[in-house]
Amino acid sequence: MDIDRRLDIAVSLLAEPSRVVVDLPETFFKVSPDSGREGRGLVSGFRFGQVASGKSRIVLDASSPVLIDRAFVLDPLDGAPARLVVDLVKTGQDEFLRAVRRSAATKISDVKDRGRAGERGGATRAERPLVVLDPGHGGVDTGAVGQDTTPEKVITLEMAKALKAALEASGQVRVILTREGDSFISLPDRVRFARERQAALFLSIHADSSAKPAQALSGASVYTLSETASDEEAAAYAERENKADQIAGVDLPPDTSDVADILFDLMHRETKNFSVHFARQLVSELKQSVRLVKNPHRFAGFRVLRAPDVPSALLELGYLTNKDDTRLLNSQEWREKTALRLTKAIISFVSVTVGRSQAP
């Protein structure tokens, strides 16, 4: 990759699936968004983008186990630009896994919580309830891509901003977005973001894609957390969304945190009930003006919904593989109209649940 100046890089390997991660300072990629969808040789494809404040990343998907033979930056010379070079060689699975373990020791740390000072867990019960909106994907993780090539990460951020404006205009809640720009945040950090701020509600915003014929699936749906998925489609969707960290080149261990330990114990208690209650309110409000899928309230094991003490739901706005849905999702008028419906459901929900939680 040609670059306009010399820079420092850090390169590491990840397994399951096999990937090569190149970490860079914050970088503007003057490269077509379509680049990297197809590869050749040892690289089946690649992604690039911002992964944290001040950091960017290139993720190479390996078609077979590989080793990093060399990784370096060439200085500009005789009018030619500087160049980032990563040489890969094919290897066996055992040697690859040993190299993964070695590179893990020097791997750049995961993205940290970037909340604003003064908003970290400082809410008192006298304050307006806090709603955390989570625009899905971001940075190197583009999410689904629409028929017009608009990535999901752009759609979700625009919808989150429209909803934030509508909620703040009500004067009844405070609102924070997990990301304000095109940056990657891991799934556990999204959950932690809401928990540390004692949010009254966490709403993750997404759009989907389908391998079925382009016009076969359309409409919005609402998901809540469950150990058992409501149907095969919900299970498959959760599995895709739960791979967001892998897509961005983040190697996270299985859920062994306190959140995972107490998750399914609490799921049958108040938090699960509140989440389901909110999802039903959301569906009831959305159906007034938004096309919904059949059985619009679904459930599956989404990692981003695993806050045991914050009612959480995932709103899937529509299918980017459907031209009608894509047209609506790119419409500012549609987003603003939908934001008003969402606001009504959210205000109704938090006014009841916060009041109930504050009862003596």
Domain 2-104 class, CATH top level: mainly beta
> Which pLDDT band holds residue 262 (cuts at 50, 70, 90)?
very low
Q: Give the Cα separation of 73 and 356 in Å (integer).
A: 59
CATH code of the region 130-357: 3.40.630.40
Helix, strand, coil percentages (3-state) for the chain, rounded to 5, are 30, 25, 40
Q: Give the per-residue pLDDT at 256.
A: 47
Of 29-33, 104-108, 240-244, which range is least confident?
104-108
CA quadruple 110, 114, 118, 120: dihedral sign = negative
Domain ranges of the chain: 2-104, 130-357
| Domain 130-357 in the same topology as domain 2-104 | no
Confidence of residue 107 (pLDDT cuts 50, 70, 90): very low
pLDDT digits (tens, 9 = 90+) for 75-100: 887 778 888 999 999 999 999 988 88
Residues 6+ apart with CB under 8 A from 221: 292, 293, 296, 297, 298, 315, 316
- Distances from the Cα of 113 to the Cαs of 116, 134, 186, 190, 192, in angstroms? 9, 13, 10, 8, 8
Look at 55-64, 94-103, 187-196 and tell me which has the smallest mean pLDDT: 94-103
> Dihedrals φ, ψ of 132, to 5°?
-100, 120
Q: What is the mean pLDDT of residues 251-273?
A: 54
How far is residue 189's CA from residue 213's CA, in Å, rounded to a whole number? 35
Q: 269 pLDDT exceeds 90? A: no
- Measured CA to CA, the distance from residue 112 to residue 231 in angstroms comes to 34
Beta-sheet pairing, 10-14 with 66-74: unpaired
Q: CB–CB of 120/163 below 8 Å?
A: no
Whether residue 86 contacts residue 13, with contact meaning beta carbons closer than 8 Å, is answered with no
The CB-side HSE value for 1 (13 A sphere, CA atoms) comes to 25
Residue 59, classed as helix, strand or coil, is: strand
What is the reported pLDDT for 263? 46
Which pLDDT tens digit goes with each residue over 153-187?
999 999 999 999 999 999 999 999 999 999 999 99
pLDDT recorded at residue 248:
66
pLDDT digit string, tens, across residues 232-258 = 888 888 888 877 767 666 655 555 444
- Taking the whole predicted model, whether its pTM rises above 0.85 is answered as no
